[in-house]
Chains A and B, each alone.
Chain A
Amino acid sequence: MPNVAELVDRLVRFVGEVLSASTLRFDILTTLAVLGVMLIFLQLVARPVSRWVTRDAGGLGGVGRAMALAAESGTDAVVSLGAGGLVRSTDALARLQTVAALPILGHVARAAARSGVSLRVLTNDPLAGVLAAATIDASHEATVTPERHGRSRIVYVGEGRAVGAGLSLSAAARPAAAVAVGSLREEAQLYLEGLGGTAGALHAGTADAAQAPAPIMLATGVLIGPELYQAPADLRSEVEERTMVTSANRLIGVALALIVIGSVLAFVGVFDLRAVLLGVAPE
């Protein structure tokens, strides 16, 4: 029976053999550059709440009010995960938008669960439907409302980008609130027209830059371009965190204004702020 030392020795030999059988795909500088980029991203991603923005992106803070209205009027709410899907034959950036839409779905689902509002999730991708179901499950678990779980449903609208738009245009149901987030391309105008035409409030977001006009013209709350990826990080920020960020931003603003004004005054020879603030003698 081998002892621990032999085991470690074999492990080291095995790792050595694996390393000696490997070569770098790129030259050393490129490899270091890729790893460096990864390191910077790890530093960036370690902070889940975005640092500079404290505003209510996309008006998603108002979802709770919309759900309260839905509960009063006895209607439901609709969330569309866009038309990118997760395993459809489209580009990776479109599919990533569906992933970014899931935390937003979770936010809406928690508000709906608290208010007892039934939720309809529209998707054209089966795997996205499975993840949406899991997100709704988690929302009912988080809000301790398992008895309301049966009210929500996932609607698979069919394959393709046009079918979702066709369904939203032809649907007779009138939801209290509609949220369409994810990849929206040539169908964006039709999709949002259909949802916004019947819903009391429409929130829309897409990172497809060329389709920004459709949400701007049709939705009450919009997430344009990078905001779609930023919103999930800001959805559940604590009030204290937002206050701290706002205060810090104001301090930075005051400092920048002082620097600019001081520079201008010093440049025109009226007054040198450095003499007052830092005790530096004027040149």
Chain B
Amino acid sequence: MRRPSVPALVVLVGGLLLADFLIVNESLGQLASIVVDLAILVAAGAALAAVASLGLRRSMDLWRRRGDPLGAGFVLVGIAIILVAGLRPGSEGAADPAVRWILVALLIPIGATLFGLLFVFTLLAARRSVASRDRAATLLVAVAFLTLLLLLPLGGDAGAWLGGAARWALEVPIAAVFRGLLVGIAILAAVFAARTMLGIGPRDE
């Protein structure tokens, strides 16, 4: 069941922001600014509530020995380390060197390690795609293989020809498909955004 108040609010706010975009008016600008600030405030409140809820839930998991106590312990220790580093007396908050060190020395290397798996998983996925004989996936793998051949680091005339073919493939067919996708995405994203703002959708099942 749709509640008309939500689309009405969205249309009101959307109209206000659109009017502020088109018209220079001090009152209108202040109103739009208040609305944007309110949205940021609500989002920040929701984020804080979510973190508090996460901490509480993990504490209960640890206390009652349910779920994944080890994971809960890691989450709580992580929250505590960042809170201590960012909120201790004299700390510079998110810009504090301790917080930055935690990010640079721990989180980024862990993330990079995870993304290092991409090479292995991409090859495995390609092998499975060919094995499953899915047409789109097989075509994708075949084109990827062809592109790989074009990018072989060969010298001489053959290397120059392959390099030229690779550049042509990048600038003509790949660019055409990619830009076509982007144009389609842009049009339908705008239509979808407008539908969402106006609360327009298909009938309920």
Contacts and interface: CB of A to CB of B under 8 A. Distances in A.
B185 A218 contact: no
B114 A236 contact: no
A26 B22 contact: yes
Given A23-B23, A217-B128, A44 B191 contact: yes
Interface string A15-39: 0001001111110000100110010
Given A42-B194, A87-B46, A156-B50, A217 B200 contact: no
The dominant DSSP class at the A interface is helix
Contacts of B184: 225-226
B23 A22 contact: yes
B137 A216 contact: yes
B111 A209 contact: no
A27 to B, nearest CB: 11
A113 B93 CA distance: 44
A142 to B, nearest CB: 6
Interface stretch (B84-92, B119-127, B150-158, B163-171): B119-127
B202 interface: yes
B129 interface: yes
Interface residues of B, number: 59
A245 interface: no
Contact of B192 (A26, A169, A232): A232
B188 interface: yes
A62 interface: no
A223 to B, nearest CB: 11
B103 to A, nearest CB: 10
B46 A130 contact: yes
Given A31-B22, A162-B111, A229-B189, A127 B1 contact: no
B187 to A, nearest CB: 7
B194 A41 contact: yes
B115 A190 contact: yes
A96 B192 contact: yes
B114 A190 contact: yes
A189 interface: yes
Contacts of A214: 125
A213 interface: yes
A238 to B, nearest CB: 7
A126 B49 contact: yes
A72 interface: no
Contacts of A199: none
B21 A25 contact: yes
Contacts of B54: 156
Nearest to A218: B125
B181 A212 contact: yes
A254 B50 CA distance: 56
Interface stretch (A3-11, A45-53, A74-82, A264-272): A45-53
A166 interface: yes
10 contacts: A24-B23, A31-B22, A48-B195, A96-B189, A126-B50, A187-B115, A216-B137, A217-B137, A217-B140, A237-B202
